């Protein structure tokens, strides 16, 4: 038996077979070639950057759906790196001196990597891997190389010099048991992704990692950062015990997820799930949600090449409602705009898209498409308990207009003899300060409120939610935000209407506790977070 030590970056124990990925994360030195036409080479470089940006946009969307917002933001940061003027300038300047784009990019990257590595700041040091990930993506475009797909055996323990974030999200979770790296730190994005995908990981294992033979049997302890190669009988026995305890703890968490959540004083707080795709429904049910608090219907629009027709929308809404078997499902009407756009509905370029034509504003500017969506929703309502929610309301007339169109759609369907569900509820997202301030007026006109903290925080604090430069100012517990939340909950309750939260702040411990104390009726979160929210509610007075 051999024992290897590193730094535990993602907890849990597991076992499997060592598989070396090899190479320095796939980053090889390209040939240096003298070029004749610098302009053509610059064009080739900027095309490669544009293609890489598109790929990152896709990866960001996929990660958001499959893993979470925080993890998806890693690829947003990658896109920002791709637009870094200094890096671009360094590459362009070399191309202008007659160096081919591949080598120019390689040299500029290495120069930046050395600069980052020399800074006494762990966070910046870790960004070197992100930089390499981004430039490798552009390099692949330049050389027309496809991203390497790893063919992994079952129960693989992946060994690599270091892992790029995009490699980590692509590793097949059904096969990868753990990953071990020579370099890296628990702060790296690859480690963050491993934690959210519940893959044990040990980093900073040093050069010794190379000596672990391919195919050897390993036990990995991601909590202590220990790896056992060909473990002896004692370690094997202890591992079996640890693994059984780990499984029991997971099962307890899942079982806890199925029970009702009440505060110590006995007040019930529903824990619901946020959905973007049909696949999320099974996960939401597995984690024992009390219903769906937010379905981001715009994803159907973003996955289409043209406005999705009534039938396509109907079958999606119907499938969600049927799968939920009577539990209440809240579907938000399409919230396109800002960072959620589909090519076919891109209008005039907007200087400030967050303050532009998004959410209900866009829907009301295209009444035919809004009408189509409402018809599809009303038809689907016959298959379960449906709540329809309007996003980005900032004025009373917008709500009136949306409700009026819903009434017309209902009349039309009734005249066609189409069945409609009996208990459809209408509500709004309270995600603009205007809606929160006007909550007393709006509460009279709806059946429920759902506070969208992602936007409410951004608009209240004037902090762009996707801009990492001001990320430290994005504070869910800022007193101004808390006052608006309190005002909204109280206004809803004065009218006898429930008020929930469906923004990411619902998963923020301090904020969620305060919201429960203020009397919030439900918290809607990504499915995986349901058990921890149940526990949080039970610990509140």
The reply on whether position 100 binds ligand PEP by CB under 6 A is: no
**Nearest to 218, CA basis, from 2, 17, 21:** 17
Examine residue 55 and tell whether it contacts ligand PEP (CB under 6 A): no
- CB-side exposure of 427: number of CA atoms within 13 Å? 28
Phi, psi of 217 (to 5 degrees): -85, 130
Binding-site partner at residue 203 among ligand PEP, Mg ion, none, CB < 5 to 8 Å by type: none
Q: Is 68 in the site for ligand PEP (CB under 6 A)?
A: no
Token pair 């430290």 is found at: 472
Say if CB 161 and CB 26 are below 8 A apart.
Answer: no
Q: Which two tokens stand for residue 153?
A: 């055996």
Q: Min. distance of Cβ 375 from ligand PEP in angstroms?
A: 23
Identify whether 78 is a catalytic site residue: no
- For residues 436-465, which are near ligand PEP according to CB under 6 A? 452-455
Q: Which is nearer to ligand PEP, 261 or 295 (CB)?
A: 295
Token pair recorded at residue 398: 């917008």
User: Residue written as tokens 């700041």?
Assistant: 121
189 belongs to the catalytic site: yes
Q: With residue 62 as reference, give the H or E element that holds it.
A: helix 38-66
Distance of closest approach, residue 293 Cβ to ligand PEP, in angstroms: 9
Under rule CB under 5 A, how many of the chain's residues touch Mg ion?
Answer: 3
Closest Cα to residue 362, out of 333, 387, 404, 400?
Answer: 333
431 scored as a contact of ligand PEP (CB under 6 A): yes
Per-residue string for binding with Mg ion, 424-443, x by CB under 5 A? -------x------------
Token output for 117 = 């590595």
Catalytic residue among 78, 189, 289, 334: 189
Q: How many residues does the chain have?
A: 541
| Choice between 78 and 272, CB closer to Mg ion | 272
What span, in angstroms and rounded, lies between the C-alpha atoms of 40 and 505? 48
Q: Which is nearer to ligand PEP, 161 or 431 (CB)?
A: 431
CB 418, CB 355: distance < 8 Å:
no
When the beta carbons of 167 and 453 are compared against Mg ion, the nearer one is: 453
Q: Give the H/E segment covering residue 252.
A: helix 233-257
Interface with ligand PEP (CB under 6 A), residue from 296, 327, 497, 528: 296
455 binds Mg ion (CB under 5 A): yes
Task: Select from 9-17, 172-180, 445-453, 465-473 the region that touches Mg ion (CB under 5 A).
Answer: 445-453
Q: Look at residue 502 and give the partner it binds from Mg ion, ligand PEP, none, a contact being a CB closer than 5 to 8 Å depending on partner kind.
A: ligand PEP
E strands, 114-234, in order: 156-160, 176-181, 201-203, 217-221, 226-229
Using CB under 6 A, which of 335, 398, 447, 521 touches ligand PEP? Answer: 335
d(CA 199, CA 5): 18
Answer for the pair 477, 505: CB distance below 8 angstroms, yes or no. Answer: no
In the complex, the smallest distance separating the C-beta of residue 452 from ligand PEP, rounded to whole angstroms, is: 3
- Would you give the binding string for ligand PEP spanning residues 465-504, x where CB under 6 A is met? -------------------------------------xx-
Give the Cα separation of 5 and 128 in Å (integer).
23
Catalytic residue among 49, 289, 334, 502: 502
- What is the set of active-site residues? 189, 502
Write out the residues near ligand PEP by the rule CB under 6 A: 294, 296, 335, 431, 452-455, 502-503
Write out the residues near Mg ion by the rule CB under 5 A: 431, 452, 455
């Amino acid at each position: 038996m051999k024992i290897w030590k590193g730094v535990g970056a993602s907890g849990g124990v597991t076992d499997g077979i060592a598989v070396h990925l090899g190479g320095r994360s796939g980053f090889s030195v390209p040939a240096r070639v003298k070029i004749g036409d610098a302009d053509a080479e610059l064009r080739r470089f900027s095309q490669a950057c544009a293609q890489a940006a598109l790929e990152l946009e896709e990866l960001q969307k996929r990660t958001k759906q499959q893993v979470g917002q925080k993890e998806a933001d890693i690829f947003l940061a990658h896109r920002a790196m791709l637009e870094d003027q200094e890096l671009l300038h360094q590459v362009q300047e070399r191309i202008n001196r007659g160096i081919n784009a591949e080598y120019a990019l390689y040299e500029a990257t290495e120069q930046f990597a050395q600069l980052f590595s020399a800074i006494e700041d762990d966070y910046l040091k870790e960004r070197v891997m992100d930089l390499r990930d981004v430039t490798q993506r552009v390099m692949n475009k330049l050389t027309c190389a496809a991203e390497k797909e790893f063919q992994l055996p079952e129960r693989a323990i992946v060994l690599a010099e270091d892992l790029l974030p995009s490699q980590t999200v692509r590793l097949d979770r059904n096969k990868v048991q753990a990953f071990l790296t020579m370099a890296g730190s628990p702060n790296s994005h690859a480690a963050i992704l491993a934690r959210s995908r519940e893959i044990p990981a040990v980093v900073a294992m040093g050069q010794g990692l190379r000596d672990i033979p391919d195919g050897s049997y390993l036990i990995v302890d991601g909590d202590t950062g220990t790896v056992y190669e060909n473990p002896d009988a004692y370690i094997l026995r202890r591992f079996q015990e640890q693994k059984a305890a780990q499984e029991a703890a997971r099962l307890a968490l899942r079982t806890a997820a199925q029970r009702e959540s009440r505060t110590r004083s006995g007040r019930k707080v529903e824990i619901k799930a946020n959905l973007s795709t049909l696949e999320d429904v099974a996960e939401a049910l597995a984690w024992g949600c009390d219903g769906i608090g937010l379905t981001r219907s715009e994803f159907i629009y973003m996955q289409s090449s043209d406005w999705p027709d009534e039938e396509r929308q109907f079958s999606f809404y119907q499938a969600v409602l049927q799968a939920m078997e009577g539990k209440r499902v809240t579907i938000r009407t399409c919230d396109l705009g800002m960072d959620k756009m589909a090519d076919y509905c891109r209008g005039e370029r907007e200087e400030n898209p967050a303050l532009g034509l998004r959410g209900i504003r866009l829907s009301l500017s295209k009444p035919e498409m809004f009408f189509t969506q409402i018809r599809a929703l009303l038809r689907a309502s016959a298959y379960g308990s449906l709540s329809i929610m309007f996003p980005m309301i900032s004025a009373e007339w917008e709500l009136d207009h949306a409700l009026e169109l819903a009434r017309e759609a209902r009349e039309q369907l009734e005249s066609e003899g189409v069945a409609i569900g009996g208990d459809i509820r209408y509500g709004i997202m309270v995600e603009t300060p205007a809606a929160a301030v006007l909550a007393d007026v709006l509460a009279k006109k709806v059946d429920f409120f759902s506070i969208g903290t992602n936007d409410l925080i951004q608009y209240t604090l004037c902090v762009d939610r996707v801009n990492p430069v001001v990320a430290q100012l994005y504070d869910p517990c800022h007193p101004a935000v808390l006052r608006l939340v309190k005002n909204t909950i109280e206004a809803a309750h004065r009218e006898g209407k429930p008020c929930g939260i469906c923004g990411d702040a619902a998963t923020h411990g301090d904020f969620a506790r305060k919201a429960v104390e203020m009397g919030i009726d439900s918290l809607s979160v990504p499915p995986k977070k349901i058990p921890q929210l149940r526990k949080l509610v039970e610990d509140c007075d």
